[in-house]
Amino acid sequence: MGPMAGPPAVAAKIQIPRWIQLVGLPLVLLFLWVVAGAARHVVFLFLVAALIAFLLNPLVRGLTRVWIPRGFGVAIVYLTFAAIVIGAGAALGTVVVNQTKSSASRVNDYFTVEHGQAHRTHAYRDVDRFQHWLDTHRLGSIKVRKQGHDFVERIRKKDVSKYTGKVINFVEGAAIGTLKPLMGTGTYVNDVVEADTNGAQIYGKAKYERLVGLKRKYDPDNFFRLNQNIKP
């Protein structure tokens, strides 16, 4: 009679100390969080590129059917797509800037330009109209004419064009800043934007110092501040 087989060997269990679990688990989670945060831009770009490739693939197939090599067809489709995106961005930026200028001009005229024989602005007249509406609707006890006129006068003294000009500068800067990554990283001297650009790098140190001297002499208050402003 042969020897009896013993019980099967049991694999040894690896036990991780509890203090390592308490310390290591938060560290692992923190590491995964940091990696996910650093890679989210890459994942986003990858997904956008995949979506664009998926949408443009039928156009590439159409070009290959007319005996155009696939590589050349891909180049044609992507260059055309990039041109359309840049053109649409430029057109949209132009519309936004023009509408902002128009709105800023209307706001400025509303508070500052006087009309009619009484030489009153539209803001003054609207305050009077509102007070008249209150009086004719049994709300005459509410008096807003004096407070409204004082408010309009304070706005006029604050130089409305100064603040509307800042809004225009911001919108123009945002539009140009949005298009610059698509057009390249160069700097154009005639960019109509109030920006802290390195003037010495654009004009050269000697010419920049001469321009600063002229600016301090003829425009010490920095009134003309567009087109790559040189601060006094």
> What are 115's strand-pairing partners?
120
Per residue, the 3-state secondary structure of 19-82, as one string, reads HHHHHHHHHHHHHHHHHHHHHHHHHHHHHHHHHHHHHHHHHHHHHHCCCCCHHHHHHHHHHHHH
**Which pLDDT value is given to residue 133?**
92
Cβ(169)–Cβ(229) below 8 Å: no
pLDDT > 90 in the chain, percent: 0
Task: Write down the number of H helices and E strands in the chain.
Answer: 7, 2
Query: Does the pLDDT value for residue 232 go beyond 80?
Result: no
15-24, 136-145, 160-169: segment of lowest average pLDDT:
15-24
**Which pLDDT value is given to residue 227?**
56
- Per-domain residue ranges for the chain? 40-186, 188-232
Can you tell me the mean pLDDT for 139-145? 87
pLDDT digits (tens, 9 = 90+) for 54-101: 888 888 888 888 888 888 888 888 888 888 888 888 888 888 888 888
Q: CB-based contacts of 126: which residues, under 8 Å, 6+ apart?
A: none
